[in-house]
Chains A and B, each alone.
Chain A
Amino acid sequence: MKVLSRLITRAFALLACVLCAGPVSSQQPPIKIGFGMALSGGLAGGGKAALLTYQIWQEEINARGGLLGRKVEFVYYDDQSNPATVPGVYSKLMDIDKVDVIISGYGTVPIVAAMPVVMGRKKTFLAFYALDANAQFKYDRYFTMQPSGPNPQSEFSVGYFELAAALTPKPQTVAIVGADAEFGQIAMAGAREHAKKHGFKIVYDQSYPPATVDFTSIVRSIKVLNPDLVYISSYPPDTAGMLRATYEVGLTAKMIGGGMVGLQFAALKQQFGYQLNNVVCYDYYAPEPTMKFPGVDDFLVKYRARAAAAGVDVLGLYIPPFAYAQMQILEETVKAVGGVDDAKMADYLHKTTFKTIVGDIKFGQYGEWETARIITVQYQDIKGNDVQQFKESGKQVILHPANYKSGDLKVPFTPTKQ
């Protein structure tokens, strides 16, 4: 009887130990990661894709036992693609929600709007895509996933113009046209800089206002000048308008494209299909053999399985890999510094080369990538309008930089028939 009693006592003691041991980790408060994200408005296409990617990472990390043994929770608000809402969102995240870590939403304008609030609290700010957002602030705890390098204005169009300069015979004239908005203006300024450097005469240099409905007038004005090169920095609806007008007016040139936002997304790829052949454009990632980084294919399989149901870009080549890399960097940083101390995190972010699914990333002094990695691609061998073909290599051939090059430039651009 005594033996049985001792056994029962020990069993209860053991059970008590197990029960007590379990909740130790689960009773730790979660690590709260806060951000504003464009879930409506003009930037929502990118914002929702980034959010889905964050959620994929969150599920993975929590399944692995959390970050530092703590569950990861997201606190996020829709910034409506409106910079006016952003300071309020970040004040609430830091002062009321008391998040441990803040990251940014998608897009230059919301990120710039968040900067003063973030800087006021001395928070480390691992931002997503923003073109030269820290140029004025020079904030030493800012980091961006946009691979524009330390001189984003120049880097954005360097590939396009270096490729053009290498053509034989060398092009003489260039038309530059872009959206009258922050990104468009920065990209156009860079294009002018390169045109001057390579000795191209600028024969057309105009920006167009937001909500421009028809682009045929612009394209006709360019066609009359017969430039060798046409550099376009446009937003998605304008990209569609410019391409349609190019076909309608019959504009030809040695190279057309450059900074056309929208071609990176499945919707425009599918719509234009074969009409993209020989268009040259910037990009950040292309499924070419030279960019097969470890883990990227596995991630894209997971993302694509959920993309259609989430109503986001079904290819996920432009934003999701970099959003996932952002969370990989955050994960490594928090683990390495053993907490969420902003000064320690910023210090670690500055000194580390991160291994991610988009390759190695090292941040420079003001948070831009130490070395730019904007790629220049050319659409080649596109048949019909099937979006699935863009998952294959050989469709978005990388022309620049040399270390990622997967094919050769084809000239000229002529509107092709199906």
Chain B
Amino acid sequence: MLVNPELLFNALLTGLLLGGFYSAVSVGITIAFGMLDIVNIAHPAFIILGSFVAFYLNSTFGIDPLVASLIAAPPAFLVGRLLYKMYYYAFERHGEESLQGLAFFFGVLFIVEVGLLLVFGVDYRFVEADYIRKTIALGYVSLPLRLVVPLIAGLAMVAVIYVFTSRTFLGRAILAVSQDPGALRLVGGNPVRVKEIAFGLSIATAVLAGALLIIIQPVEPSLGREYIGRVFAICVLGGMTSLGGTVLASIILGIAEALTATFVGPSWAPAVAFGLLIFTLGARPEGIFGR
């Protein structure tokens, strides 16, 4: 059977675009879960929080959703730091972070979700921006800007975090704490403070990713629950601590979903994507870029 080249190229491009977005929503989990060993199940709720902040600033002041997310990121960073402090003093310090910590973040998830319900109500919310309704047509390839913009913004965000973690002292300290907190303490670093900053960064990325999500699709307060499985799967597939692995895993998952939806049927897309995850972990349990 001949494969329709138009469908193939478009599916590959759509997968790439989706992958860029997935990497934006997953990079925070790579930091929190992969590097800091914190099972922040509330991460998707913060993504939705970011969507609603973008919605509020966009609908009230006409601010572009991407600019809105940059405005929201510093407060989100502080909220993340505060949240980690609570988590540390309540659980991690006593070595009770596994089950109690998980319950804590479940609680945070519901608090964020119900808070959004009370403030914004239950309707689906959208944002308006010039690029949302536009599509770039290149021959038989069409590129919806509502997917292109999240790709560029998502990859830019990951690139900035990569530069930060590889070129700055604090960034290297975050990588160090993910490998050996004890060794970091021996060289004069404070693992708790480093983890606090890294967790703040993780929440800030969630809020930034939320703006990308609401550019792609309408959101309502409970939508985040549907992303929990996907973001953790990408983190594991990418190798837990690797930012490059997260991007690659996101693109693999995006392309697998798009190709399956196009040529096999959309109902098979999650099965193929997660089958790929199982296959990869079977062959390489540490993930693609895991060490």
Contacts and interface: CB of A to CB of B under 8 A. Distances in A.
Nearest to A204: B265
B226 A210 contact: yes
A311 B221 CA distance: 13
A40 B261 contact: no
B122 interface: yes
Contact of B261 (A211, A218, A267): A218
B182 to A, nearest CB: 40
A208 B261 contact: yes
Given A213-B18, A262-B124, A42 B220 contact: yes
B113 interface: yes
A311 B123 contact: yes
Given A214-B14, A217-B258, A267 B222 contact: no
B6 A224 contact: yes
A221 B261 contact: yes
A40 B123 contact: no
Contact of A221 (B113, B121, B147, B262): B262
A240 B10 contact: no
A305 to B, nearest CB: 16
A209 B230 contact: no
- Using C-beta atoms within 8 Å of the partner chain, give the interface range for chain A: 35 or more
Contacts of A241: 217
Contacts of B4: 224
Contact of A240 (B122, B218, B261, B270): B218
B7 A221 contact: yes
B78 interface: no
A217 B10 contact: yes
A311 B146 CA distance: 27
Contacts of A42: 220, 222-223
A217 B142 contact: no
A40 B270 contact: no
Contact of B258 (A40, A214, A311): A214
A224 B6 CA distance: 9
Given A45-B220, A209-B269, A220 B262 contact: yes
A216 B14 contact: yes
Given A217-B266, A247-B133, A47 B7 contact: no
B266 A236 contact: no
Contacts of A44: 117, 122, 220-222
Interface in B16-49: 17-18, 21
A219 B123 CA distance: 26
Interface string B212-235: 000011111111001100100000
A209 B266 contact: yes
B7 A224 contact: yes
A333 B19 CA distance: 56
B126 A271 contact: yes
A412 interface: no
B11 interface: yes
Interface in A218-249: 218, 220-221, 224, 236-237, 240-241, 244-245, 247-249
**6 A-B pairs with the lowest CB-CB distances in the bound complex, closest first:** A311-B121, A208-B266, A211-B226, A44-B122, A217-B261, A248-B144
27 contacts: A39-B117, A41-B222, A42-B223, A206-B265, A211-B227, A212-B266, A213-B217, A214-B147, A214-B216, A217-B266, A218-B261, A218-B262, A220-B10, A224-B6, A237-B124, A237-B217, A244-B144, A244-B146, A248-B135, A249-B142, A267-B123, A267-B218, A271-B218, A310-B121, A311-B122, A311-B123, A312-B122
Given A236-B218, A262-B124, A265-B123, 13 more contacts: A39-B122, A42-B220, A44-B221, A208-B269, A209-B270, A212-B261, A214-B18, A216-B142, A217-B262, A224-B4, A237-B217, A250-B142, A313-B123
